[in-house]
Structure 1
Amino acid sequence: MTQPPVPDVLPGAGAHVVLLVDDEPQACKWFARLYGDEFVVWTAESVDQALQLLATSAHAIAVVLTDFRMPGRDGVALLRVLRSDFPHVVRLLASAYADKELAFSAVNQGQVEGILEKPLDDALTRRTLREALAQGAERARHFDQLRQRADSLRETLGFLAHEVATPLATVSGYLSGMRDRHQLAPQLEPGIARLSERRPGEVMHMIDAAQRRTEYAQSLVSTFVQSARDACMGGTGVSLRARDLVQAVQAEYPFEPEEGAWFDGDVEADFELPGRRDLLYLVLCTLVKNALMAMRTAKPERPRLQVRLTRSAPAPGMAATPAIVVIDNGPGIPEAVLSRLTREPVTTRAETGGSGMGLLFCQRVMTSLGGSVSVASELSAGASVTLHFLSMNPNQEPA
């Protein structure tokens, strides 16, 4: 069995290896020597050896060319495993004339996608391998995209479950409070009940707040449904302007009555957003929530939460690109925490249920779009989180 170390062979090339499976050592050496000038060739002398290679390096193998007659399990048995467990691999069978009936049976059953007759014709074999490599590499990219979508969906679902739990817990608390204030009024008509208030207007406050949080939870669930639909269908969602995203968050986020007045949306420097509306909506809601919670812990004299569209350089020396900045004038972030943000789960609100996953989730979404997240803060002077996007027009000059 020959397997060059994957990192030493065409680094970053993805699926690029031709694996020959033949129980004759000389045939393996001959094939590797003859075709190694054009292709990356690995060899295995049995089905078991081939499966060992696939178990550790399936991501690198694009084509398997297998002999039919081998001791133990034959080539068709290997082809069956390839079809079920490694669908990105192109399956070829090397067949002698006497094996033709079995070979065509394998073709008809969908186990093999091409046959090369022994002795191998050099020109035909090279042409077949080139076509199979291109097909295998494309399949590998396709299955990798499916895997990434599934991973993204799982991550979004986990984060979404945490985010939905917060407003639902608040709704449950308000309903419990209303139950405590509920009093039957036997002196009134049957079916009439009375809610006793400890403070004027508190029942309506609980009803309004519960409704806002219910609507917000519904918007988050809609976000996940759209993410799931896009992941299954391979869609990218509807294009969106940054102005529309900011205005949607301002209209749908469940601000407390006084908090709505803190919000200031500066959307003059509008631009088109990449990616899906649902994930970016969740990102911006997360940043707004973080800013509000920071200001609640140490409320400034005049609380202010600004979401501004602008152009900003992702790093010193780089050109300015479109950006969304979320700014608050809360207590700020300690240096020890600031240096770890966007790199690991870290929170200053663990005692109130903070997990530190919010900003990390935002970072991963932005990275998937080719952008980035930067955080700046001074103690007692607030914090700003900037979402840096790639410019939709690479020829556009910085503002």
Structure 2
Amino acid sequence: MNDIRQTQPTILYVDDEELAGKYFARAVDADYEVLLARSSDEAIAVLQQDSARIAVLVTDFRMPGRDGGDLLRQVAQEYPHIVRILVTAYADVDVLLQTVNTGEVFRILEKPLRPVSVRETLQMAIERYRERAIQNQRLMAIDETLAFLAHELNTPLAAIALNASSIENRGDVEHDSPQEIIGAARSMRESAQYCIAVVSSFWRSVHNGHRKLAEGDARSEITAHGLISALLDTYPFAAAQRSWVQVEINGDFPVVTQPNCVALVLSSLLSNALRAVADVPSPSVRFTVTADPGPRIRICDNGPGIPPEIKARLLTDPITTHAKSGGNGLGLILCDRVMQSCGGGLQIESTSGVGTTVLLDFPPIKGQTHRSY
């Protein structure tokens, strides 16, 4: 989100009078990048090439061919992120009311343009653009969170459904092995507990984030160590699983972007690691947090490792070795997508017979110093 405020805004100015365009550019070019177009059609051609970086459209109303009102309507429909300003020298009340009432224009500037008025209006327009951009980022973060949450719940719920269906379809359960029934029931219970843990972990990360923001205490930031601690406090460990997990903090760091999504990533990776080490003689899962040379969380297990042909496809294809327990192979793909949306990334290192390491890389935090332990 910081990049939204640091990038120099780009303005597209549309006027059939060449001198008017040059006058506008000279008036504001110290603060904005200005692109010029001489007609509505030329403006659309510019937008087709550079719409992603254009924040504000300023267009004259009276132009040969398609007028500014027609251009505003098309831009409102095809490029809704762009804030639109109308320039006119005519007191056409009906036209002005129509453009304002239909939401096609943010502000109206009257000719001749006054530099002070133009700069004030552009400043308000840029603030509106930034508000929209931040809102869109938040909506994207919510979409990522909901997709991840749905995946993390659907997988264990599918396991519950598969085991329940298996028991139901056996017919005469009196002749079934008691161990088989007990095993299916245990799997259902653990899957249900995991669903509860996912919801609890998600709620806790969101709740803590809102509380700390409300307190306004910079020292109460959400950190990598804090997310791991919250996960280990709420995860539904079975039997001795908790004793398999160790945490090493070499340097803590704040998780600024989408901490609730990162919490779900950690929960998913812990689940995978515990499943991987379930049958090894001395199971071990280790979380390591480092801040130097860059913010990173490393999750290592001493399980059987991942075959090279599967590892090569884990972040691109829905491939899984746990289909019988309801897995669909989307977990790591979603983990990678979330980390990329946070400005970081995910890497997988694995050797057959040795174990697997998943690396979560985070973007550097400007002005932050890490905490050593």
* TM-score by shorter chain over 0.5: yes
2:60 equivalent in structure 1: 67
Please say if 1:349 is aligned against 2:321.
Answer: yes
Check conservation: 2:251, 2:372, Cα contact below 8 A: no
Alignment counterpart, residue 140 of structure 1, candidates 124, 129, 138:
129
2:281 equivalent in structure 1: 301
2:187 equivalent in structure 1: 209
Please say if 1:263 is aligned against 2:232.
Answer: no
Letter in 1 for 2:37: T
Q: What is the CA-CA distance between 1:334 and the residue it aligns to?
A: 4.5
- In the alignment, the residues of structure 1 paired with residue 260 and residue 119 of structure 2 have an alpha-carbon distance, to the nearest angstrom, of 41
Check conservation: 2:106, 2:125, Cα contact below 8 A: no
Q: What is the CA-CA distance between 1:16 and the residue it aligns to?
A: 0.5
1:173-252 equivalences in 2 (<5 Å): 173-179=162-168, 196=174, 198-200=176-178, 203-220=181-198, 240=222, 242=224, 245-250=227-232, 252=234
- In the alignment, the residues of structure 2 paired with residue 116 and residue 264 of structure 1 have an alpha-carbon distance, to the nearest angstrom, of 64
Check conservation: 1:209, 1:254, Cα contact below 8 A: no
Alignment counterpart, residue 36 of structure 2, candidates 35, 42, 47:
42
2:306 equivalent in structure 1: 333
The percent of aligned pairs where both chains have the same amino acid is 30
1:1-399 equivalences in 2 (<5 Å): 13=7, 15-22=9-16, 27=17, 29-37=18-26, 38=29, 40-46=34-40, 48-70=41-63, 73-83=66-76, 86-97=79-90, 99-102=91-94, 105-106=97-98, 109=101, 111-118=104-111, 120-121=112-113, 124=114, 126-179=115-168, 196=174, 198-200=176-178, 203-220=181-198, 240=222, 242=224, 245-250=227-232, 252-253=234-235, 257=238, 260=241, 263-266=244-247, 271=252, 273-274=254-255, 275-295=257-277, 299-302=279-282, 304-311=283-290, 313=292, 318=293, 321=295, 323-334=296-307, 344-345=316-317, 347=319, 349=321, 357-389=330-362, 390=364, 394-396=368-370
- In the alignment, the residues of structure 1 paired with residue 125 and residue 286 of structure 2 have an alpha-carbon distance, to the nearest angstrom, of 46
Q: What is the CA-CA distance between 1:382 and the residue it aligns to?
A: 0.9
SS of equivalent residue, structure 2 residue 52: coil
- In the alignment, the residues of structure 2 paired with residue 285 and residue 104 of structure 1 have an alpha-carbon distance, to the nearest angstrom, of 55
Check conservation: 2:251, 2:370, Cα contact below 8 A: no
RMSD: 4.4
Gaps of 5+ in 2: 1-5, 215-219
Q: What is the CA-CA distance between 1:283 and the residue it aligns to?
A: 0.6
Gaps of 5+ in 1: 1-11, 184-194
1:323-361 Cα offsets, whole Å, 9 max, x none, are 43322111223456657766x447563876766543343
- Structure possessing the higher radius of gyration over alpha carbons: 1
- In the alignment, the residues of structure 2 paired with residue 160 and residue 350 of structure 1 have an alpha-carbon distance, to the nearest angstrom, of 19
- TM-score with structure 1 length normalisation? 0.68
SS of equivalent residue, structure 1 residue 210: helix
Check conservation: 1:332, 1:378, Cα contact below 8 A: yes
Check conservation: 2:197, 2:236, Cα contact below 8 A: no
Answer 1 or 2: higher relative contact order, Cα 8 Å, separation at least 6. 2
- In the alignment, the residues of structure 2 paired with residue 203 and residue 43 of structure 1 have an alpha-carbon distance, to the nearest angstrom, of 74
- In the alignment, the residues of structure 1 paired with residue 371 and residue 194 of structure 2 have an alpha-carbon distance, to the nearest angstrom, of 38
Letter in 2 for 1:166: T
SS of equivalent residue, structure 1 residue 31: helix
CA 1:163–1:196: 2 relative to 1, 3 Å: same
Q: What is the CA-CA distance between 1:223 and the residue it aligns to?
A: 6.9
Count of residues paired in the alignment: 352
Check conservation: 1:16, 1:133, Cα contact below 8 A: no
Q: Which has the larger share of helix?
A: 2
- In the alignment, the residues of structure 1 paired with residue 74 and residue 341 of structure 2 have an alpha-carbon distance, to the nearest angstrom, of 33
Q: What is the CA-CA distance between 1:379 and the residue it aligns to?
A: 2.7
1:275-325 Cα offsets, whole Å, 9 max, x none, are 4553222111221233244446xx4333x1323344264xxxx36x4x433
CA 1:288–1:228: 2 relative to 1, 3 Å: closer
